[in-house]
Amino acid sequence: MKFKITRDALVPIASVLVALAIGAILIAAQGHSPMQAYHVLIVKGFQSTSGLQATLSKAGILIISGLAITFGLRAGLFNIGAQGQVLSGALAFTYIGYRLHGIPMWIHIPIALIFGAACGALVGGFAGFLKATRGVHEVISTIMLNSIMAAIVDYLTQNQFRLQGQPNTRTPDILHSARLPHIFGYPTGFIIAVLLAIVINWVFKRTTIGFELDTVGRNRSASWYAGISVKKSIVLGMLVSGAIAGFTGGMFSSETTGYFVPAFYSGIGFDGITIALLGRANPIALIPGAIFIGGMRSAQSAIQFEAGVSPDIINLLLALVLFFATAPFLAKLIKSNAKTLTTTSGWGS
Amino acid sequence: MLKRFNIKPWQLILGVVLLGVWIYCYIANTDITNSVVASGMRFGMPLALAAMVGIMCERSGVINIGIEGTMLLSGFTGFYIASWSKNIVAGLMIAILTGILTSFVHAMMTIQWKMDQIIAGTIINILASGLTSFLYKQGSTIPNSWPIFDIPILGQIPFIGHAFFTQQGPIQYLGLILIPAIWVMMYKTRWGLRTRAVGENPGSADTAGVSVIKVRMINVMFGGAIGGFVGGFICLELVGSFSKEFTAGSGFTALALMIFGRWNPMGAFAAAILFGLAQALSTQLQIFGVTNIPNQFITMLPYVFTIVVLAVSAGKVRPPAAAGKSYEKEQA
């Protein structure tokens, strides 16, 4: 899966430009200045030092979230409900993060991250298990699990895990020993995310298990004939995808939020879908898209305060970018011959 | 009879048990039972209609997970047009039109450009959510919801009449006609035969002179019209307002009900009513406060129910053979 820089990279860039143009028309139609809005977006997202730091921090989270979806896509699974796994991983991380006292950072952070990933894996793996044994399509089961996890997490935050004597429902603060440090003000999470992308790329390129998953993703019946256990691959694919999503939630808690409130995490799993699709299910190629979306997200509140435009414009812009980047007509115009992406195709198990 | 309608014995047993429970409750407390059944109908009908969108598309071989987005967009346009023009009928018409346009985009992506159908549906959902949340404006109202009325003669039928044919709005009643009509169209007309042929074996259908592309385009857009109808139904009649993300996963629940109902309109209808009843019952439990169950667990119930229903039924049912695959005409 080579990502040709020349023409194939033009498609996402053209998509961004077309999306921004349509966005400008809509912003103008609401009586605001699109120039001012985009100015805020560029300054807050990419130009200022503090903006760049926030962007990279957000991008790190989104890279991992995108990797979670990508891992599933490569195995022919569409983990559309990564959000639920992110939430469970985040709460699990937070719990370990404030509960375990007096251990050094280099033990505390890994333990908490692993625990978060395990909880995400549990949720994702359950969907994989349902698909492998009962033929329940993961698109429906993970969406349902999203709502179920949202309810469970809400319940736990309001009861067992609640910080008492506070007007708003939240968990206690994560201890300092479980907070990821920054290096010269730049987030460590981004580096971890890039490393993880390289590892996952290596898994799919150089390992047997990665090759098996990839083969199952491309052609299920052919892999069955070749002697690959399709059921095992499905469970494994969802398990790892869920684990990465849980890891995302843990890292976000550690690096950014510092305590758990469900609303902090909204959209992370869904942005992961956009990023994975923009990167065409390639672990390395999704990084530029994640940085771009990270910038948009970190400038989201500024766009409301400084330009008066509804922050939902970011959702709309991202949706338009995704639409133009995946629907083939822009690609045809530019004469790129990037292959279109396929997921599982069909309800069959 | 069982063979004729393709009903499995366990479904019959389930039906008899439910009927027994209903009769028991009816005798024990008629008023509450009637109101629970009626609110079950209100919960179930939009899901049943949304499941029809899935059936229309998938019977012709196109998976549509963009039902959610179709409902969201059409509810949005329907509500704001009704609010602006002070005319609910105009709102409903615009909602249907929006549904058709949305599904036209979906049809172009999946049928003409042969994109992955699941990704295409996801894009529709993300686009709809982005558009409606950005353009959303608070404080709009529609002039007046349609009157709730009783159907004269049917409403008088003892036992079932009161639960099904009273105290509902016109779209609710229209749904009761529309769903059997879709069943008849699907199984008793030439169009239905062609649709099923294209969904099962597009190659043979093509050889027999049926245009696969045309049948699929028409079906997806007809499905979109129903999707728009449901969006309008929810925003203009059931709820009477538009709120961000009002669909809240119901498009996916509808797909689960479609699978549970084995891609059969009447089956999906029965599944949706069952689902609606479960939801009505849990609401009733909350109202009475008879349980100490935290309300998060009660709101969770429909989703748990959906997963259980699928885990029980999904492996045993067979989807239309060509669903999810775009059609490539073989080159001679």
Minimal Cα distance from B58: which residue of A?
Answer: A346
Average pLDDT, chain B: 83
Interface A-B, measured as beta-carbon pairs within 8 A, has a size of: 151
What's the confidence (pLDDT) of residue A349? Answer: 38
Chain A residues close to B116, C-beta within 8 Å: 340-343, 345
C-alpha pair distances (Å), A140 with each of A349, B114, B251: 13, 22, 10
Q: What is the pLDDT of residues B298-308, one digit of tens each?
A: 778 888 888 88
Interface test with A, best of B62, B105, B252, B279 (most A CBs within 10 A): B252
Identify whether the C-beta of residue B255 lies closer than 8 Å to the C-beta of residue B314: no
> Is A306 or B3 the better-scoring residue by pLDDT?
A306
Contact A326 B115 (CB under 8 A): yes
Contact B307 A146 (CB under 8 A): no
User: How would DSSP label each residue in A307-346?
Assistant: H---TTHHHHHHHHHHHHHHSHHHHHHHT--PPPP----S
Among A140, A319, A344, the residue with its CB nearest the CB of B130 is A319
> Is A318 or B248 the better-scoring residue by pLDDT?
A318
Contact B249 A322 (CB under 8 A): no
Contact B130 A277 (CB under 8 A): no
In the structure, what pLDDT confidence band is assigned to residue A1 with cuts at 50, 70 and 90?
Answer: very low
Q: Describe the crossing of helices A188-206 and A286-298 by its angle, rounded to 10 degrees.
A: 150
Q: What is the pLDDT of residues B240-274, one digit of tens each?
A: 788 888 888 888 889 888 888 888 899 899 889 88
Q: Which domains does chain B have, with CATH numbers?
A: 41-136+167-316 (1.10.3470)
Contact A152 B300 (CB under 8 A): yes
Identify whether the C-beta of residue B220 lies closer than 8 Å to the C-beta of residue B64: yes
- Angle at A267 (CA atoms; ends B228, A4), nearest 5 degrees: 95
What's the confidence (pLDDT) of residue B2? Answer: 58
Q: Describe the crossing of helices B67-85 and B30-59 by its angle, rounded to 10 degrees.
A: 110
Q: Is the pLDDT of residue B113 over 50?
A: yes
How close, in Å, is residue A152 to chain B by CA atoms? 7
Among A319, A323, A343, the residue with its CB nearest the CB of B118 is A343
As a whole number of angstroms, the distance between CA B5 and CA A344 comes to 31
Beta bridge partners of B149: B168
Domain A10-334 belongs to what architecture?
Orthogonal Bundle (1.10)
Q: Which of B224, B75, B226, B45 is nearest to B142 (CA)?
A: B75
Minimal Cα distance from A304: which residue of B?
Answer: B134
First to last CA, chain B: 45
What's the confidence (pLDDT) of residue B235? Answer: 86
| Helices and strands, number each (H, E), in chain B | 13, 0
Among B116, B310, B315, the residue with its CB nearest the CB of A345 is B116
In the structure, what pLDDT confidence band is assigned to residue A46 with cuts at 50, 70 and 90?
Answer: confident
As a whole number of angstroms, the distance between CA B301 and CA B52 comes to 23
Q: What is the pLDDT of residues B138-162, one digit of tens each?
A: 777 777 666 777 777 776 776 677 7
**Mean pLDDT, residues A75-88:** 91
Chain B residues close to A162, C-beta within 8 Å: none
As a whole number of angstroms, the distance between CA B275 and CA B280 comes to 9
Contact B323 A310 (CB under 8 A): no
In the structure, what pLDDT confidence band is assigned to residue A347 with cuts at 50, 70 and 90?
Answer: low
How close, in Å, is residue A182 to chain B by CA atoms? 33
Interface test with A, best of B279, B296, B325 (most A CBs within 10 A): B296
Residue B316, both tokens: 């045993």
Burial class (CB in 10 A: 0-12, 13-18, 19+), B303: buried
Q: What is the pLDDT of residues A120-145, one digit of tens each?
A: 999 999 999 999 998 888 888 998 89
Chain A residues close to B249, C-beta within 8 Å: 143-144, 146-147
How close, in Å, is residue A186 to chain B by CA atoms? 31
Chain A residues close to B67, C-beta within 8 Å: none
Contact A135 B296 (CB under 8 A): no
pTM above 0.90, yes or no: no
Candidate from A198-202, B211-215, B282-286 with smallest mean pLDDT: B282-286
C-alpha pair distances (Å), B77 with each of A268, B83, B232: 28, 10, 9
How close, in Å, is residue A135 to chain B by CA atoms? 5
Contact A320 B130 (CB under 8 A): yes
